[in-house]
Structure 1
Amino acid sequence: MLDAPSSSPRLALVSEDPLARGALARALSDQAEAWTVVAAGTQEELEAARGEPPDVVLWDTGLRLEEGAAPDLGAPVLALVADEAAGELALGAGARGLLFRDVAPGMLGAALHAVARGLTVFEPGLSHVRAAPRSTAPSGAPGPDTLTPREREVLGLLAEGLSNKAIADRLAISEHTAKFHVNAVLAKLGVQRRTEAVVRAARMGLVTL
């Protein structure tokens, strides 16, 4: 059994749904040991604010998780997922622990303590889940097979001059996910700016200007 922490653990609570954030905060406050919620909001809001790192991040992935990155707040992440598919995506995105969204408050508190100490935690029903494979850029010059189908779509929209928000609207994804895909395209093409990505892609025959 893990030793009790010497002080109240600092928690960042990430969820796109304000009702879910409120329910989780109440569930943790009802426990005998107090939690200090130092930040609560959407992933985009908290990553933009970038305050002092918490001890652990509780990430409610919602009912449908798209490919993306776990909250980058300088602390290990415990993800709450709706199903096994979301668990695979959350692991691939960088989560250190997985629980179902309807987890009991007692198990949630124990798992948060464990993840804060650097342990990996799986609810029994998710113990067999493995991270979904993610595309990585090969060494050497990038080629047409470097980009995923979704990244090719994003690249085509970049060539049209669309902003991240416009890309998100066109593909029916969140703006945060659109930004993630844009950054992946830039990294795989070895450029820093969107215009450079379009020019390089045109030279490689990936887009037509």
Structure 2
Amino acid sequence: MTIDSDQPTPVPRRLQLEHAQAVAEQADRHAVTLESILAVLRSARLDDRASRTTAIDLASSSLIELRSTTDQQRGTMLEPVDGAFARLRSDLRPLARFGGLDVQFVEPPTGGRALPGEVAHAARAIVRSAVLALVDQEDAKRVRIQWDCDGLNLLIDIRDDGEGRISAHDDSLRPIAERVSALDGGLDVSSTTGWGTTLAIRLPLDPPAETEPLEDSADFSPRERDVLRLVASGARNRAIAAQLGITDNTVKFHVSNLLRKAGVRTRGELTAIAAASTRPRQ
């Protein structure tokens, strides 16, 4: 078989997902830092000078941690579950201290199986996102966070004392659900009006099986498959329309359907996943 040297080697879809998760985790960490800084600046417990000093310290510490995290190798790294939980407590400490939020932590059992780096990073990001969502959507004043491990899964339980209005289909939980799904995990949401919301999350400790190519994993029409292959090649709407003999608006319609069926929100995400999973035809 002759290999075309001009054909780029497809990137495994798993690597694409890992990269997207790393970017999302950094965004979550930035959100927690910014929320903490705002909480400090709004705090009635601190005068102007003290609030500025504390905000600068938070920003500086976050910048240092970001730089070190960027250089960190995640692939084979393992973290003890109690160590990963301690890092989560550190992440949320400023929000609890200056934001008026009572965060209660139930320590995981020591020992046992360590967490793969990807799971530990994702778990912390998921909890940070969940806490922000509960505070924003539920007006919660108290959040209880518990981790446990059954040897096969990391089990996360998050409860608040808010209004109990959040459902599993709430937009604020979509990023959390997507991240859990990417790890082949499970998310259950239960809310009771006036009593609060509970999120029960299960994250497998072993990596998920390699998924089938995107073209085969979704119910695409023949025309949508044609558009998908061209999107994966980097072609824009006008070029796709010219090659397939359709209008620009028709291309937009097909791309919209592809986004919905692939479960992504942007063309960039669709391009990355499609390029990773589309193989040259023999």
**TM tier, smaller:** 0.3 to 0.5
Larger radius of gyration: 2
With the length of structure 1 as denominator, give the TM-score of the two structures: 0.34
The answer to which structure, 1 or 2, has the higher relative contact order (CA under 8 A, 6+ apart) is: 2
With the length of structure 2 as denominator, give the TM-score of the two structures: 0.28
Which is helix-richer, 1 or 2?
A: 2
